[in-house]
Each structure stands twice: as C-alpha cells, then as structure tokens.
Amino acid sequence: MYYQPLMIKPSSAEEGFTLIEVMVTISMVLILAAIAVPGISSLVQSNSIASYSSSIVSSLMLAKSEASKRASIVTLDVNASWNNGWSINNASQASPLIRQFDGIPASYQVLSTTLSLGFLNDGSTNRATDYQITIKPANDCTDDLVRVITVTPVGNISTVNGSCT
C-alpha cells in the first residue's frame, strides 16, 4: 500500500493581495460604475415616463367606461396642473367624484389641449378635435423620453413617441 506524504506548505510573504492589486481592482470597479450610471438614469427616466403615461391612459379608459356604465357624461378634470393631480367626475350626480389620481412630479412636464375632457355614454368625447397630452422630462429632454397621448373625438385612445420641440 502506498501512502502519499502530507505536504505542509511553509508560510511565506507571497500569500494575499498587495496594496497595488487592491487599488487597481477598486479603480477598475469605479471606472465601470462611472460608465454605467448615465445609462441607468436614462432607463429610470424612461420607465417613469412610461408609467405616468400608462396612468393617464388608464384614467382616460376609466372615464370612458364609467360614461358608458352610467349613461351620462363623465369628465377627466385636471386640478389646475397635472402636477396637482386629476380626477374622474360625473357631474350629474350629487357627489360627482368617481376617482382621484395623484399628481405627476414637477421633474416632468405635462401639457394638454385643455384641463378637462368629457366622455359621452357612447364612448365618444365632447370635443370636435383631438385631445392631446404630452409627457416629457422638464430638463434634459430627448425625443425617446417623450410620450404623446391622443384621444380622438370618437374616443380612440393612443400613445406614441413624440419630440421635445
């Protein structure tokens, strides 16, 4: 029977990392982080714009369906500015408020044709022309961060990319 002798490695100064190796590794991590941060902030902004436009579209759809359900005019009313929130109301009831929505942060600019839009019981709007809502960053706007929501007079709701101008 053959036995392998147990090798014991003597302690030496060659174990571990040198200070230079640690400093090089940390500097490489910092350089990679500096490259990644701008891309991440743009992604966060893009997701926020998509979320806010989705919230507005769902509130428009709620107003449209409530008008059909209640057989009366239901309006989406902006509270002075989109940053202050908006509500869905049925003016023909004693307590007209159907639902209140929180505002969009001031770091985003929201522009609309008017501050109120009504839906009739057939799903059409009380306007003869398109109603548009544009959402974009208040600062550092790029065209890929702009969303335009359009409601046609017959009640079709669509969202497309827009431009900063």
Domain harbouring 29, CATH code: 3.55.40.10
Over the stretch 33-48, which tens digit does the pLDDT of each residue have? 888 777 787 888 889 9
Note the pLDDT of residue 17: 83
One-letter amino acid at 133 equals: I
Tell me the C-alpha distance between 49 and 102, whole Å. Answer: 15
Phi, psi (rounded to 5 degrees) for 113? -60, -50
In a domain, 144, yes or no: yes
In a domain, 68, yes or no: yes
In a domain, 54, yes or no: yes
In a domain, 2, yes or no: no
Q: Is the pLDDT of residue 13 over 60?
A: no
In a domain, 98, yes or no: yes
Strand partners, 102: none
In a domain, 80, yes or no: yes
Other beta carbons within 10 angstroms of residue 113's beta carbon come to 15
In a domain, 4, yes or no: no
| Domain tally, the chain | 1
Note the pLDDT of residue 87: 95
64: tokens are 């449209």
Measured in whole angstroms, how far is the alpha carbon of residue 111 from the centre of its chain?
15
Strand partners, 143: none
In a domain, 16, yes or no: no
> pTM, whole model, 2 decimals?
0.77
Domain extent, residue 151, equals 21-161
